[in-house]
Chain A
Amino acid sequence: MVPSRNPSDGNVRAGSDDRILISAVATKSEAAFERLYKRYYQRVLQFVGRLVRDRRLAEEVVDDSMFAVWKSAGRFEGRSEVSTWIFGIAYRRALKTLDSNRRHTALESGDDRIAVTASDDPRSNPEQAVTAAELRHQIDDGIDQLSDDHRAVMMLTAMGYSYLEIATIVDCPANTIKTRMFYARKNLRKILSSQMTLAMTNKRHETIWSHRHRIS
């Protein structure tokens, strides 16, 4: 089992600290804002970076999100955790950035870019055939190819959020989150299988090539 990084996993102290910080930010305390910023920057950047897939853009989105936190701290109603609230702001801003970027560059959507050629069998287990480092790299690539919705749910789950918290962040019902996660896993498996097939084909070509060279 993966060690918990879950902000909701009994980490009451962090939650109440966050609430104290956000109350202070609401009274325009720069010191509290700095603590909140430094506490969340890396995690929000990790999440947003995966969504927008551009480091510079992601940093801008995180700063914009934290600026929004400063401006709207006074309106935080405490109906969710501060962490969930901040991630929700960052998620919406990341989606907005993605939308405007797509309009400008006419990029294809993540789903369209998934070229699945391998078996759809959910029981196929491609990770067994590669080393841990390769697998990590392939999973990274695979997640990048998921649709925005699937990628967000996958990322937030990997970051330790519960499905109820994810539902709050992306503002949709909990059952939708479960469904999205189900399809995200399924699509990720397809992508990994497809990558595996490609890698194996390349390897076979390399073997044939070197074999022919040896013969000649």
Chain B
Amino acid sequence: MVTQTSNQLSHEEALELLPWHVNSSLERALSEKVARHVQHCSDCQQESAFLTSTIVAVNSDEAVTPNLDSRFSSLIERVREHEQSADGQSKRPIGQRVFAWLGLAQPRYQWAGALALGLVVGVAAILVALQSSNVDPDSRLIYEVHSSPGSAPLHLLVEFEQAPGEDLLAELERAAGQTITWQKQTDTRYLIELPDKTTVKTVADIRSRLLSYDPVVEVVVDIADDEARSK
């Protein structure tokens, strides 16, 4: 390390910086310090002479000067080709540019590429769907169920073991924590209409609370009936 604050450099410091003192690239203050050291150090004087010989040798390379005009002409041709192909690339549809980027120039490779891409997207979509269906009901992800205008509202179909009495239905309404309008289908089957924007978590909550009562056999979201009703 060079102690730039001190007035004098140690021998090691000067020796380390000597090449850049010799090639005149050191900042002036530092270069002067090296010069002061070299004046009184025979080792550094020898090293300085050696470095000077090296620099002179390197810079006296008798390189054959090439014809720069012709070399540049070749290079500029290459540049123009590059620019043209870059222009062509930018005018091509994005799909073709992607294929070109992937190195799939031939149509048959492009078909194979498209197929592979489709497969990847398909698998990714399935994975996302599976992931969504496995969402923990207690997780913080809450999806709202929206009814679209004109379509039937969301219904839960509740199947009882035997015909429920009024008391049980009232108790279940309290347990569900929602205002429930029971629509009787059969003696043992009732429909509950859920308000719009009921969250998926709320639906799951109501279902689990209803199922905790023995007379309730099954609670399902009434998709088939919705479709039938909408027809």
> Chain A: residues with CB nearer than 8 A to chain B?
1-2, 4-6, 8-9, 28, 30, 33-34, 37-38, 41-42, 45-46, 49-50, 55, 59, 63, 66-67, 70-71, 123, 125, 127, 135-136, 139-140, 143, 154-155, 157-163, 165, 175, 178, 181-182, 185, 188-189
Contacts and interface: CB of A to CB of B under 8 A. Distances in A.
Interface in B57-99: 57-61, 63-66, 68, 71-72, 74-76, 78-79, 82-83
A178 B14 CA distance: 12
A125 B46 contact: yes
B24 interface: yes
B20 interface: yes
Given A1-B24, A2-B23, A165-B25, A154 B79 contact: no
B51 interface: yes
A2 B24 contact: yes
A123 B57 contact: no
Contact of A162 (B16, B26, B64): B26
Contacts, number: 123
Nearest to B65: A42
Contacts of B43: 123
Contact of A38 (B20, B57, B60, B68): B68
B25 A162 contact: yes
A165 to B, nearest CB: 7
Contacts of B46: 123, 125
Contact of B50 (A9, A33, A127, A160): A127
A67 B86 CA distance: 14
Contact of B58 (A28, A159, A175): A159
Nearest to A188: B54
B46 to A, nearest CB: 6
A59 B1 CA distance: 38
Given A6-B25, A37-B75, A125-B50, A158 B55 contact: yes
A188 B53 CA distance: 12
Interface of B: 1, 15-17, 19-20, 22-26, 43, 46-47, 49-61, 63-66, 68, 71-72, 74-76, 78-79, 82-83
Closest 3 CB pairs of A and B: A162-B25, A158-B58, A139-B57
Given A160-B23, A162-B25, A2 B76 contact: no
29 contacts: A2-B24, A2-B55, A2-B59, A6-B23, A6-B25, A9-B24, A33-B79, A38-B72, A41-B71, A42-B65, A45-B63, A55-B64, A63-B75, A66-B75, A67-B78, A67-B82, A139-B57, A139-B58, A140-B57, A143-B57, A143-B58, A154-B54, A158-B23, A160-B24, A161-B25, A163-B20, A165-B25, A178-B16, A185-B19
A38 B3 CA distance: 41
Nearest to A47: B58
B143 to A, nearest CB: 45
A165 B25 CA distance: 10
A157 B17 CA distance: 11
A158 B143 CA distance: 70
Given A9-B24, A155-B58, A139 B72 contact: no
Contact of A71 (B26, B52, B82): B82
Given A139-B57, A162-B25, A67 B79 contact: yes
